[in-house]
Amino acid sequence: MTARVGVVTFPGSLDDGDAARAVRIAGAEPVRLWHGDPELHGVDAVVLPGGFSYGDYLRCGAIARFAPVMETIVDAARGGLPVLGICNGFQILCEAHLLPGALTRNQHLHFRNRDQVLRIEAVGTAWTNAFQPGQEVLIPVKNGEGCYVADPATLDRLEAEGRVVARYVGGNPNGSQRDIAAITNEAGNVVGIMPHPEHAVEALTGPSLDGLGFFTSVLKHLVGAPA
């Protein structure tokens, strides 16, 4: 049976179509979810895509966090549903308190759009089990508020618990503390990543195929998950 992966569309979402395409290329069925509909329609996993939900007003992700669909996703994630937040989706996960810390204005105050090398450090998550520890991947980054920050105790805890999923290599594009590009929750089912793996799934349009591993990982995870 083909896995069904939901992709949420908020007002201002930009990369929901790209995320749905990545899900399809990975071998799953993308299911479009609407911000105003609390139903998840039986999906096996969820992607919160990049973009500018609700125009990034108030604070990136701060309004989206209260969308009806997010109330359901938060409960489901706490019950083990795999959730991947990409860029704006990462911001939403932090605002929803599914992940610690926050994403703030890039330290240099400029929008950054470039192909970025990452080092995968945690491969035990639902979204990274297709990678090898220390594997370097090339994935586009594009953000203006991508600087990950947290208090020292939180950063130390993420490090100690192996919850830093990926770090920037060859230059930090936004000033994120400890070069953090992606993190996970304690259970490993929720991952937030600032770069865009959905833009690195086809040779025609991406700098590599390295992003595909995030989407094939969740399929592998679902096959091994208890019924």
Q: Which residues are catalytic?
A: 87, 196, 198
- Do the Cβ atoms of 65 and 73 come closer than 8 Å? no
The encoded tokens of residue 168 equal 């920037």
Looking at residue 219, its amino acid is: L
With tokens 């996703």, the residue in question is: 73
The encoded tokens of residue 48 equal 């919160």
Max Cα-Cα span within the chain: 47
Phi, psi dihedral angles at 95 (to 5 degrees): -65, -30
The encoded tokens of residue 128 equal 């990274």
- Do the Cβ atoms of 102 and 93 come closer than 8 Å? no
Kindly list the distances between the CA atom of residue 116 and the CA atoms of 33, 36, 79, 127, 206, in Å, as whole numbers in the listed order: 29, 34, 33, 19, 12
- Do the Cβ atoms of 141 and 124 come closer than 8 Å? no
Q: Rounded to the nearest 10 degrees, how much is the dihedral formed by the CA atoms of 218, 188, 45, 106? A: -100
- Do the Cβ atoms of 192 and 183 come closer than 8 Å? yes
Q: How far is CA 55 from the centre of its chain?
A: 19
Handedness of CA 131, 132, 133, 134 (dihedral sign): negative
